[in-house]
Amino acid sequence: MNDDDLRALLRDADPGRGQQPLDDARIRRIVAAAERDGLGGTGEPAPRRRRRLFAGASIGAAATAAAGLLIAGLVATPAVQAPGPSETSASCAPTSVESLRDSDTAYEATAITVVGDDVTLEVTRVFAGSPGRTLTVPQQHDPANPDGAGLFVAGESYLIASADEYISDCDSGPATDALRQIYARAFPSPTTR
Amino acid sequence: MQPFSPDRSRAYESLVRAHGDAVLRFLRRRTEPQTAEDVFSETMLVLWRRFDDVPDEPLPWLYVTARNCLRTAERSTRRQWRVVEKITTIDPPADAVDAGPEEDPRADCLRNALARLSTTDAEVLRLWAWEELAPPEIATVLDISVNAATIRLHRAKKKLRQEMDRSHRPTTTKGGDR
């Protein structure tokens, strides 16, 4: 089989074959998103939640349901630096009261144990929703961390926001005073446990 | 954040019209459809933000950008897969697709052979056959020398042919026929 045959055979197996070309409307949306970005906007229409959220689990009374958490600000830098997203936290806009209000569940939790890959979080304050008292989540390893340390550290606190069982990696992170104040403004009546 | 100007916007739109399809196809060949769409949007934003860095021949640069954006997205996805108990099933990207009833009889053999290649060999073949890149462009995308790209492509083709031959080879059983 010569090169031409091989290439033709590979092309027959191309999963991108038959893709519909981008239509005018899509191109206009892309350009508009870029222009909004240039004016300080946030990119294509409503990508934030879809792109920056990832699935959590049944965060409820079961207490041991798995949940995901990607800590904004502790996220690994891209493996290949350029070209690519220029900011460490990719396209996250700063956490705001408005973005948090998209969440149906928001709480502060402390990592009480880190055993191997299992991290147990104890919910200490509920800003919104019913997250339950305790959650067990797997440790999140940061591939950029040379010593292999995980993101969760026992004794440290984290603020976590989720919607429809998806935890926002943009709006969740280590419980700093600044982030806590934004949570408190978004959800003015927290309950402490 | 890049400043908006009508000229810049028009030039950007031209680039999107010229190369957007190729970038989206590149992503759809390497990940499931929803991720491809998300990463495509991200890639287009990076294109806007780094418009001044885009070389005269933009496609390899765009592929590198798309691949970097995809890696970032996949890192999140890998975390997601590790941590979730309940997750929506995502259709995995097809390594290769059936061509239908008119399919070349060697196609099945090729798909199996392609799946057995290393990630590096498979990628260089994809760039050559699907993205239709020549070794200098492959070199740019893989960030290797043109010479290395040429050698890598040659070896990948050879391995693919060997794998296809192997899958055609009849299997033997211990003791042979009675």
**Which chain A residues touch B81 with a CB distance below 8 Å?**
none
Q: What is the pLDDT of residue B78?
A: 52
User: Residue B92: is its pLDDT beyond 70?
Assistant: no
User: Residue B56: is its pLDDT beyond 50?
Assistant: yes
B144 lies within 8 A of chain A by CB: no
Task: Give the Cα separation of A147 and B2 in Å (integer).
Answer: 36
Reported for B99-105, long-range contacts at CB under 8 A and 24+ positions apart, including other chains, are B99/A12, B99/A13, B103/A12, B104/A9, B104/A12
The list of chain A residues with pLDDT below 70 reads 38-93, 117, 137-151, 164-169
> Distance from A108 to chain B by nearest Cα, in Å?
19
Q: What is the pLDDT of residue A191?
A: 82
Q: How do strand A134-138 and strand A118-128 relate by DSSP bridges?
A: antiparallel
A93 lies within 8 A of chain B by CB: no
ipTM: 0.73
- Residue A111 pairs with which residues in a beta bridge? A121
DSSP 8-class letter at A35:
H
CB contact under 8 A, B25 and A16: yes
